[in-house]
Each structure stands twice: as C-alpha cells, then as structure tokens.
C-alpha cells in the first residue's frame, strides 16, 4: 500500500462502494478471534447491502466480499485489514498499522484511515548508511519493516576494482562513496513520493559526511543519527534509534501550527466548514490540517458547494456522507495538496469552530 495505490482507490466512484476495516493480530492467541470478527463484519456489510439496495442488485458485490474474506490467511495477519468492494473494483490489503473496526457504504471507498496511517507521526523513512550495504526501512513508532526497492540495498562491494593503479585509491574510493550517496539520496526521494514521510539517516560520521556532500536532498533530512548500527537487526535498530526519532517527530508535528499562524497573516487561512470544502473542491487547498478523531456526517447541496451537518441516524442517499472529512482529504490529495493530522482539541485556539483548517495556495 502506497500513495499511488490510495489515489487509485480514491478515483473509484460507484454507488454502493463497501469498505470493511478491522484491526488484526500477528500472533496467537490474539489472532484466534480475527476470523470471527471478520465474518461478523462481512455479515453486517452484506445485510446492509441487501436491505438498502436489494439482494439481486448487490449479488456481485456480496460475492466479491465473501471471496476476499475467505482468501485471508489469518496465520499471517499484520496489524490491520481492509476490504474494498464495488461493481467495478474489489481488493484486500493487509497493512502494518492498526485500523478501526468499521463497515462503510458510500458512493466511494473510505480511505481516511489509510491516509491517516500514512500521514500521522510516527511514520518515517530510515536509511542506514554502510559501505557493506545501505538499507532502507519504513518505521512506525519502534517497529521497522525493511524495504527492498528503489535500488535498496546499495552495496559498494568491489566498487574500486576498476580504479587506475596510478590514482590515489583513497581519493577514488571517497569519490565512489560520494557518488553512491547521491544515488541513495535520489532513491530516498523516489521512496518519499510513494510513502510521504520524513527521512532519518543513520551512519558513522564518515558516511554521513559523504551523504551530505553527494545527496542533493541532504538538507531535507529530518534527523541524522551519528552512530554505527549497520550490523544490527531490525529489532535492535528500532530500539536504539526510536527515542531520538520520536523527539524529532514530535518537533516536526508542531511546525504545522506555525504554518497556520503564518497563513492567517498572509490571508491564506480558511477555517469555515463551507469555505474549507470549497477550497478542497476547487484545488486551492495546499495543506489540510485535521484533528485525529474528527468525524463529521454531512449532506452536500445539489450544486456541490454547501454542507449541512447531520445528526446520527440520518437517512443516507448519494448526497450524504458518514464523514465529510474523508471526502475533503481525498479531494486535497487528488489535487496535489498535503494532509497533516494533529492532536485532538489542538486547533481550538486557531479555529474554535471545528477541528479542521486549510492553508490555501492563493
């Protein structure tokens, strides 16, 4: 699952579109109940489909949901599972982060939980620089998953074999290392397009120096950790670097409040719900800032410009949404904007009306 996959899923428009999410467990005995919980959610989804839209009309979607659910090998679950199903698209994903237990039936798929998991801290890209093989990991809190893509792992083995004997071998090797660090920087930039997260670089002073000299994006690194760690396994590495990474992520998260204050001073701040919706719809939203647990059921007017908040238990139709915040997130991402999540109630001083705000492009 990466940003491109999420954008593809967000582009699917079909009514009804079913999203089933649930937290799962990697090991026994915790994962023993995963099949039962999934079966219950599948039953809820199919019953709602048949009640709201008719059994014959939704038979294909129900079949896809059952097929995907039956395909799950619960002995190899991760931390979350999501099923998407409509007449035009059906897929299942196992994900390395927790998801809520939920069934959603809308005119598109509910991706808010996926976006939140990919944008919230602590999510980071970690590269460990080593002449024996520079590695890349995706980190979530103190858990690391190695990524063998974008050219990783990079190795300098036999890199100096073709050097001219008349040349200073140490100088040649320094240049080779610097050149490879440029490649690593470019690979990190590609990884960041798919996994929008800050970068952490770990290495001995010498290799970090080569990275700063060679990588064009070296100034974009959130944190440098000057230490070896190159021979550590994922568990040891995560345990050792997490305290520094956590502190850096906390500092990074606070920066958005300064961005919001600057936006107010430059008339680029939008705080009204309808104005936020319109900025997201029109492609003017550069940064959407959302409190973590904000959910707003709403109806959209016929002209698509005005929102009306709804109470629980409303009668659903094609113009109503269980959570209009998810729709805003999808529109902002589709137009190249960014989404940042902040702690609950942390926007009260900046925008007392709602736990959401936008920094516009113009």
Model confidence at 118, in pLDDT bands (50, 70, 90)? low
pLDDT at residue 296 above 80?
yes
Q: Over range 146-169, report the average pLDDT.
A: 67
As a whole number of angstroms, the distance between CA 60 and CA 329 comes to 29
Q: What is the pLDDT of residue 165?
A: 46
Q: Over range 104-117, report the average pLDDT.
A: 83
Q: Over range 319-334, report the average pLDDT.
A: 87
Q: Which residues of 138-168 are buried (b: 16+ CB within 10 A; e: fewer)?
A: bbbebbbebbeebbbebeeeeeeeeeeeeee
Quote the mean pLDDT of the chain.
Answer: 88
Work out the widest C-alpha separation in the chain, in whole angstroms. Answer: 82
pLDDT at residue 69 above 50?
yes
Q: Which residues of 85-121 are buried (b: 16+ CB within 10 A; e: fewer)?
A: bbeeebebbebebebeeebbbbbbbbbbbbbbbbbbb
What proportion of the chain, given as a percentage, has pLDDT over 70? 93
As a whole number of angstroms, the distance between CA 25 and CA 79 comes to 5
pLDDT at residue 41 above 60?
yes
Rg (CA), the chain: 23
């Amino acid at each position: 699952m990466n940003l491109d996959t999420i954008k593809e899923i967000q582009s699917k428009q079909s009514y009804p579109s079913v999203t089933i999410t649930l937290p799962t467990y990697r090991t026994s005995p915790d994962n023993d109940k995963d099949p039962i919980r999934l079966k219950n959610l599948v039953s809820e989804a199919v019953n709602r489909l048949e009640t709201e839209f008719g059994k014959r009309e939704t038979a294909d979607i129900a079949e896809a949901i059952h097929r995907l659910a039956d395909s799950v090998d619960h002995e190899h679950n991760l931390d979350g599972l999501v099923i998407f199903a409509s007449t035009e698209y059906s897929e299942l994903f196992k994900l390395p982060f927790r998801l809520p237990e939920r069934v959603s039936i809308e005119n598109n798929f509910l991706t808010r939980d996926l976006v939140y998991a990919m944008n919230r801290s602590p999510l980071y890209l970690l590269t460990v620089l080593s002449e024996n093989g520079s590695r890349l990991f995706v980190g979530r809190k103190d858990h690391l998953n190695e990524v063998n893509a974008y050219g990783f792992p990079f190795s300098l083995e036999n890199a100096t074999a073709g050097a001219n004997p008349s040349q200073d071998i140490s100088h040649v090797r320094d240049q080779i290392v610097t050149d490879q660090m440029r490649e690593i920087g470019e690979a990190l930039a590609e990884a960041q397009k798919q996994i929008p997260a800050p970068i952490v670089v770990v290495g001995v002073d010498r290799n970090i120096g080569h990275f700063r000299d060679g990588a064009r994006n070296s100034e974009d690194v959130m944190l440098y950790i000057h230490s070896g760690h190159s021979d550590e396994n994922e568990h040891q590495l995560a345990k050792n670097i997490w305290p520094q990474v956590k502190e850096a992520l906390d500092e990074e998260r606070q920066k958005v409040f300064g961005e919001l204050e600057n936006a107010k001073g430059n008339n680029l701040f939008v705080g009204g719900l309808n104005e936020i919706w319109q900025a997201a719809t029109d492609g003017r939203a550069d940064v959407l800032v959302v409190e973590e647990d904000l959910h707003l059921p709403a109806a959209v007017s016929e002209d698509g410009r005005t929102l009306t908040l709804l109470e629980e238990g409303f009668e659903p139709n094609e113009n109503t949404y269980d959570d209009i915040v998810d729709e805003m997130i999808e529109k902002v991402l589709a137009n190249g904007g960014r989404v940042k999540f902040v702690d609950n109630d942390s926007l009260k001083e900046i925008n007392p009306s709602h736990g959401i705000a936008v920094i516009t492009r113009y």
